[in-house]
Amino acid sequence: MKWTLSQLQKYRSKDFPVDEMVNVDEIKQTDQTIREVSPMHVTGRADIDSTKVTFHLKIKGHLVLPCSRTLVDVNYPINVETTETFLLKGSDYETEEEVHQVKGDVIDLMPVLTEILLLEVPMQVFCDDNSEGGAPQSGKDWEVIHELEKQDKIDPRLAGLAKLLDQNDTSSDS
If one compares 36 and 137, the residue with the highest pLDDT of the two is: 36
If asked whether residues 16 and 56 sit together in one domain, one would say: yes
User: Considering the domain boundaries, does residue 153 fall inside one?
Assistant: yes
If asked whether residues 36 and 103 sit together in one domain, one would say: yes
User: Considering the domain boundaries, does residue 133 fall inside one?
Assistant: no
Q: Burial, 3: exposed, middle or buried (Cβ in 10 Å; 0-12, 13-18, 19+)?
A: buried
The full 3-state SS of 46-60, as one line of letters, equals EEECCCEEEEEEEEE
User: What pLDDT score was predicted for residue 2?
Assistant: 82
Question: Each residue of 100-114: pLDDT tens digit?
Answer: 777 778 888 888 899
**Does residue 156 carry a pLDDT above 60?**
yes
User: Considering the domain boundaries, does residue 82 fall inside one?
Assistant: yes
Q: Strand 40-48 relative to strand 16-22: parallel, antiparallel, unpaired?
A: antiparallel
Structural domain harbouring 162: 142-173
If asked whether residues 105 and 153 sit together in one domain, one would say: no
If one compares 152 and 156, the residue with the highest pLDDT of the two is: 156
If asked whether residues 20 and 97 sit together in one domain, one would say: yes
Average pLDDT over every residue of 7-13: 80
User: Considering the domain boundaries, does residue 126 fall inside one?
Assistant: no
If asked whether residues 13 and 71 sit together in one domain, one would say: yes
User: Considering the domain boundaries, does residue 19 fall inside one?
Assistant: yes
**In the chain, what's the furthest Cα-to-Cα distance?**
105
Helices (H), the chain: 5-9, 27-30, 110-120, 147-152, 159-173
Q: Are 6 and 105 in contact (CB under 8 A)?
A: yes
If asked whether residues 111 and 43 sit together in one domain, one would say: yes
If asked whether residues 84 and 154 sit together in one domain, one would say: no
Q: Report the domain count for the chain.
A: 2
Question: Each residue of 14-51: pLDDT tens digit?
Answer: 878 889 999 988 888 888 889 999 999 999 998 888 78
Element (H, E) at 7: helix 5-9
If asked whether residues 104 and 161 sit together in one domain, one would say: no
